[in-house]
Amino acid sequence: MQVIVTDRAGDVAEYSVEEFSDLFTQLGDEMKIDALCGGCCSCATCHIYTDASDAMYLSDCDESERDVLDGLLHVRDGSRLLCQLSLKEKMKTLKITIAQSE
What is the binding site for other proteins (CB under 8 A)? 25, 28-29, 31, 34-38, 40, 42-43, 67, 71, 73, 101-102
**Shorter beta-carbon distance to other proteins: residue 69 or 96:** 69
**For residues 18-39, b (16+ Cβ closer than 10 Å) or e, as one string?**
eebeebbebbbeeebbebeeeb
* Minimum separation from the CB atom of position 51 to other proteins (A): 25
**Shorter beta-carbon distance to other proteins: residue 4 or 40:** 40
* Minimum separation from the CB atom of position 22 to other proteins (A): 13
Question: DSSP code of 67?
Answer: H
